[in-house]
Structure 1
Amino acid sequence: MSSNSKANARAQKAAEMRAAQKKRESRRRVLTIAGVLAVMVLIVGGSIVISLLNKDEVKAADAGSSDYGVTIGSADAPHSVVIYEDFLCPYCGELERATRKDLEQLAADGKVQVEYRPFDLLSRIGDYPIRATSAFAVVLEKSGPEVAKKFHDLLYENQPSEKDPGAVTNDDLVKFAVEAGATEGDVRADIENVAQKAWVDKATKEAADSGVTGTPTILLDGEVFQSGRTIDEMASNLISELE
């Protein structure tokens, strides 16, 4: 083989080696970019998932007990709301549905302390208000305010109609109490025997002595709050006052 042929062969081989090197480097760059993109997708995707989870998360406000009910939020909050309610009252149920999440969030944010005061207003229709309020007092005494607040909420989620107040039995009340976190053995007998009837009578007398004649009655910072022609309007205006 001539010297020119050898030189050409070496040049061709060098060119092939350079081409192969460029191909390897190009492939490495592609893999690197793909890896970076994959990490970015994981980071961004994880952030989106966390964001979506946090979006629906509502901070829990501390629950406490009062002489005639249960509270959420700090006593040092700049506002106080007291809600007199009857567990059979449909308007109380409407107010509860319209305000619960907002009041819980505002209480958790330190803006308000909310006190729920159930009493007997509608037992002339049936004994459910007495049975339900007594059961609430039983749970409050036996299981504490956190469980009592959950029980309170479940009573409204399962509120019977004024036309059929007996639709929710004492056994149902026990079931709701257990669902809220109470131990069945701690509460069943007292719920079935309406053991806190005296507590109901005291709460009802306190409401009457405070001038409460209907439900729901809302006190905002000690004053009766009546802003709104409907329950939804009243709920919306109440939340606006507290935000």
Structure 2
Amino acid sequence: MGGAERTARKRRQQQSAASRAVTQARGGGGPSRKTIVSVIAVVVLAAVVIGGVIWTNASKNKTEGTTIAPQTSSAALDTADERQGAVVVSGKADAKVKLDIWADFLCPYCGQLQQRSGQQIEQQIQAGNVQVTYHMIPLLNDKSDPPGYSLDSANAALCAADQGKFTPFHDSLFASQPEEGKRGYDKAQLIKLGQDLGITAPEFAACVNAGTYDDQLNAALAGVRKDPSFQGTPTVLHNGQMVNWTQDGWLDKLISQAG
């Protein structure tokens, strides 16, 4: 083989090596572009899923370690003898409009009732025009995570009523209402709310921790479930008749009709 032929052959070998290097650089000798994209997609999806789980857990437990903001503007309404068994009666016995309200502290529609009409109801109680019998029942007791908030909060509200603090306790729980299906407030948080509202008697904490009124509340729930006038929470009755609390001016209308 002559020198010219050896030189040509060497040039061809160099060109072939260069061609293979370019092919590998473009992905011909390693993972394909499709494979790389698929791996990236899996990594991104995993990150999204993990992030979603973290966000969901944080959202579910957002009440943990928090303090319930005390609402004190309505404290003047209360007396220590309002509780009558598992209900609380607020207002004068000779009030011309007498309402019964069944509610659950976890119920979002009960929260809407309080937001729409709570302040007006309390003003009319204070004015002597309205008396309300509050039935705080644990209808959604299995709808918190962990279960039990409806019963714990209803019991704590009755414990607060014994100390003359039902209305601000009631209003505070609705103002900071937890979401249905998520964590409620534990007994320590409920006790702290009572203390922030000025309850100093050690009997209050003992009442909350012991679930003093749990049996009465469960019995009240079992009883109202048999009542055809009960339509879930909230149910508002006036003289045994259903009230459409979503209608604007409903309370003013009742007071006007009562003369």
The answer to whether the superposition gives a TM-score over 0.5 is yes
* Cross-structure match for 1:179: 196
Task: Report how far residue 60 of structure 1 moved.
Answer: 4.5
Structure 2: which 5+ runs fail to align? Answer: 1-72
Task: Report how far residue 91 of structure 1 moved.
Answer: 0.5
* Cross-structure match for 1:106: 124
Distance 1:60 1:221, change over 3 A: farther
Task: Report how far residue 85 of structure 1 moved.
Answer: 0.3
Q: Determine helix, strand or coil for the equivalent of 2:247.
A: helix
Task: Report how far residue 241 of structure 1 moved.
Answer: 2.3
Amino acid at match of 1:140: A
Task: Report how far residue 236 of structure 1 moved.
Answer: 3.3
* Cross-structure match for 2:158: 137
Contact map agreement 1:84 1:207 (CA 8 A) in 2: no
* Cross-structure match for 1:85: 103
Amino acid at match of 2:138: D
Cα distance in 2 for partners of 1:235, 1:78 equals: 20
Q: Per residue, is there more helix in 1 or in 2?
A: 1
Distance 1:200 1:97, change over 3 A: same
Q: 1:163 aligns with which of 156, 177, 181?
A: 181
Alignment of 1:19-168 (within 5 A): 60-61=76-77, 63=79, 64-125=82-143, 126-141=147-162, 143=163, 146-164=164-182, 166-168=183-185
Give me the TM-score of the superposition, normalised by structure 1.
0.65
Cα distance in 2 for partners of 1:114, 1:241 equals: 13
1:30-89 deviation line (CA, Å, top 9, x unaligned): xxxxxxxxxxxxxxxxxxxxxxxxxxx989445523333222221111110110001100
Contact map agreement 2:74 2:168 (CA 8 A) in 1: no
* Cross-structure match for 1:196: 213
Distance 1:236 1:204, change over 3 A: same
Distance 1:224 1:194, change over 3 A: same
Give me the TM-score of the superposition, normalised by structure 2.
0.61
Q: Determine helix, strand or coil for the equivalent of 2:134.
A: strand
Amino acid at match of 2:102: Y
Q: Determine helix, strand or coil for the equivalent of 1:132.
A: helix
Contact map agreement 1:90 1:161 (CA 8 A) in 2: yes
Task: Report how far residue 210 of structure 1 moved.
Answer: 3.0
Cα distance in 1 for partners of 2:85, 2:249 equals: 28
1:208 pairs with 2:229: no
RMSD after superposition: 2.4
| Percentage of pairs with the same residue | 27
Task: Report how far residue 124 of structure 1 moved.
Answer: 2.3
How many residues are aligned here? 178
Structure 1: which 5+ runs fail to align? Answer: 1-56
Task: Report how far residue 184 of structure 1 moved.
Answer: 5.6
1:117-173 deviation line (CA, Å, top 9, x unaligned): 1001111212110111111222233x1xx3122211111122111031x24121110
* Cross-structure match for 1:40: none
